[in-house]
């Protein structure tokens, strides 16, 4: 029998923890093993119950969720943190990733299906970001490396079709699927199909991986 994914919920609002707990308990492969309203209690529970995934908010009384992420990453590298926050700005996302977060979702528009997918992905040690967060990360990464990046394997560009290269370039600019579809006058499904083809060709695990590789290797340039 497959072991369930043990999840710890960290949020200073009881109603949020209760709502998430009820939602996750409906999933047969996820076990909510506890909840905490502050960083101190969360760290005690992490040490005691050894969850697979910690879902945390960033804004809480006392120390911030960033400190929680950092301490878990340093002391329990096999426990992965998924951020669920109302803040989707560059500084919050950058600091969370720098601290060691494996995933980041916005509270305001994350669906149950996306949350479950994120938990299962992060539990495997892989990154998971919503489209909105991935756009912010792509812009951050582009700004930080574009001027200094040196191509590592530009020859691999030949593996992409002209349309795939065009779509990849738009992803590196931080455009969403809908914005790319509008720009190229094609359907969102067509954009997603090309994106999946690109990711399969290079074995990318996430949109962020795809954009990072593209920028490093100038694959998104016209």
Whole-angstrom Cα distance, residue 178 to residue 191? 8
Average model confidence (pLDDT) across the chain: 85
Q: What are phi and psi of 42, to 5 degrees?
A: -60, -45
In tens, the pLDDT along 11-69 reads 999 999 999 999 998 898 999 999 999 999 999 999 999 999 999 999 887 778 999 99
175 or 84, which is more confident: 84
Same CATH topology for 5-129 and 137-216?
yes
Structure confidence at residue 94 as a pLDDT band (50, 70, 90): confident
Domain borders along the chain are 5-129, 137-216
Calculate ∠ Cα 136-142-148, nearest 5°.
155
- Name residues whose C-beta falls within 8 Å of residue 157's C-beta, 6 or more positions apart in sequence: 165, 217, 218, 219
**Quick one: which H or E segment has residue 117?**
helix 112-123
Tokens of 116: 């479950």
The verdict on pTM exceeding 0.85 is: no
* CATH code at 137-216: 3.40.50.2300
Q: How far is CA 122 from the centre of its chain?
A: 8
What CATH number was assigned to the domain covering residues 5-129? 3.40.50.2300
**Buried b / exposed e along 39-71 (16+ C-beta atoms within 10 A):** beebbebbeeeebbbbbbbbebeeebbbebbbb
- In the predicted structure, residue 107 carries a pLDDT above the cut 80: yes
């Amino acid at each position: 029998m497959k072991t369930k994914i043990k999840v710890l919920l960290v949020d200073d609002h009881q109603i949020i923890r209760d709502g998430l707990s009820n939602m996750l308990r409906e999933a047969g492969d996820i076990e909510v093993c506890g909840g905490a309203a502050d960083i101190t209690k969360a760290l005690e529970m992490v040490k005691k119950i050894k969850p697979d995934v910690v879902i945390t908010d960033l804004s809480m009384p006392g120390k911030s969720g960033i400190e929680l992420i950092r301490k878990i990453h340093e002391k329990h590298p096999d426990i992965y943190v998924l951020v669920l926050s109302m803040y989707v700005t560059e500084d919050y996302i950058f600091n969370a990733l720098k601290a060691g977060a494996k995933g980041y979702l916005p509270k305001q528009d994350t669906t149950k299906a996306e949350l479950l997918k994120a938990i299962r992905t992060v539990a495997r040690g892989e990154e998971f970001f919503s489209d909105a967060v991935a756009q912010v990360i792509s812009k951050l990464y582009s700004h930080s490396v574009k001027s200094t990046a040196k191509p590592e394997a530009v020859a691999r560009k030949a593996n992409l079709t002209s349309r795939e290269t065009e779509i990849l370039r738009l992803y590196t600019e931080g455009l969403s699927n809908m914005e790319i579809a509008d720009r190229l006058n094609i359907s969102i499904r067509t954009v997603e199909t090309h994106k999946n083809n690109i990711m399969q060709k290079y074995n990318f695990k996430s949109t962020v991986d795809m954009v990072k590789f593209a920028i490093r290797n100038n694959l998104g340039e016209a």
